[in-house]
Amino acid sequence: MRTMKLGSSPLDVPVVAVGCMRINSLDSKDAEHFVRSAMEAGANFFDHADIYGTGTCEEIFADAVQMSPQVRENLILQSKCGIRKGMFDFSKEHILNSVDGILQRLRTEYLDVLLLHRPDALVEPEEVAEAFDQLEREGKVRHFGVSNQNPNQIALLKKYVKQPLVANQLQLSITNTTMIDSGINVNMENDAAVNRDGSILDYCRLHDITIQPWSPFQYGFFEGVFLGNEKFPELNAKIDEIAAKYDVSNTTIAIAWLLRHPAKMQPVTGTMNIGRLQDCVKASEIHLTRPEWYEIYRAAGNVLP
């Protein structure tokens, strides 16, 4: 699979990341087959979070790869912390405890990337900076980033945190494009012009932060998959037409659409079906034309000003 640098870091990563939020839907044999096949396809960047399956997803993954120091060398592991039952928590104590739990469950000595999962209203950036310094000093985390954050939240962290923030994981799919819409509709009196995220897309490009689109196949907030869905007839017709042209599946085109954006995004897939994951990987070889990218965008119901 094609690779790229993650944010401003020297870390070379595959352009498609494998999300492990749903790995607890597989039995141990299928989980083993899934991760082995993913690695064979060049998909060795795995996205975790301490809350996925309340920690069991990380354990299932470590069992599935038969974690050992040799295996670990071939993996790029990212996990997230900061979501707790009924609250968000970016305190130093919670970040440090979370990472210790993650490392124990993944049976590894370090994370390649740690993301702060969802903004904590009570964040004290000085504490985050202390936690990151300690994690880096102790060799437990090599690179840091955020998730679901807007530009000013990142700027606030950057005032105190000395490590570069290399990634921002955000919800983005063909049917969930608010961060793109507001840029296209600047100054218009329509809903698409509403800037919900402070121009996070441009901010991440300006600051060399890789956007990792999560739920690349879902519409709404986990409402379902838009591909093959009768709620999106025009979109599916267009995607199918372009898929036929390139002789690939609709799954490949949905990921190729995200990869075509010059922000150099790294979509995080959620499928546990190895055939579908291979189709996602194939997207790294497809470069949609500008007209094709806009045709898909418009077929999703977006109107250009």
Ligand X SMILES: NC(=O)c1ccc[n+]([C@@H]2O[C@H](COP(=O)([O-])OP(=O)(O)OC[C@H]3O[C@@H](n4cnc5c(N)ncnc54)[C@H](OP(=O)(O)O)[C@@H]3O)[C@@H](O)[C@H]2O)c1
Q: How many residues bind ligand X (CB under 6 A)?
A: 25
Q: Considering the complex, state which of residue 7 and residue 216 has its C-beta at the smaller distance from ligand X.
A: 216
Interaction mask 130-149, ligand X, x per CB under 6 A: -----------------xx-
Among 146, 166, 270, 274, indicate the residue that binds ligand X (CB under 6 A).
270
Interactions with ligand X, residue window 189-248 (CB under 6 A):
214-218, 222, 225, 227
Active site residue 219: no
Among the listed residues 52, 203, 219, 297, the single catalytic one is: 52
47 interacts with ligand X by CB under 6 A: yes
Q: Which stretch binds ligand X (CB under 6 A): 13-21, 234-242, 284-292, 293-301?
A: 13-21
Q: Please, which residue, 84 or 130, has the CB nearer to ligand X?
A: 84
Interacting residue with ligand X among 14, 19, 53, 151 (CB under 6 A): 19
Which two structure tokens, joined as six digits, stand for 184?
């296209």
Instruction: List the one residue from 269, 282, 283, 292 that touches ligand X (CB under 6 A).
Output: 269
Torsion angle, alpha carbons of 208, 119, 24, 257, to 10: -40
- Establish if 68 lies at the interface with ligand X (CB under 6 A): no
CB of 268 to ligand X, least distance (A): 4
273 belongs to the binding site for ligand X (CB under 6 A): yes
Which residues make up the interface to ligand X (CB under 6 A)?
19-22, 47, 118, 147-148, 169, 214-218, 222, 225, 227, 251, 268-273, 276
Which residues form the catalytic set? 52
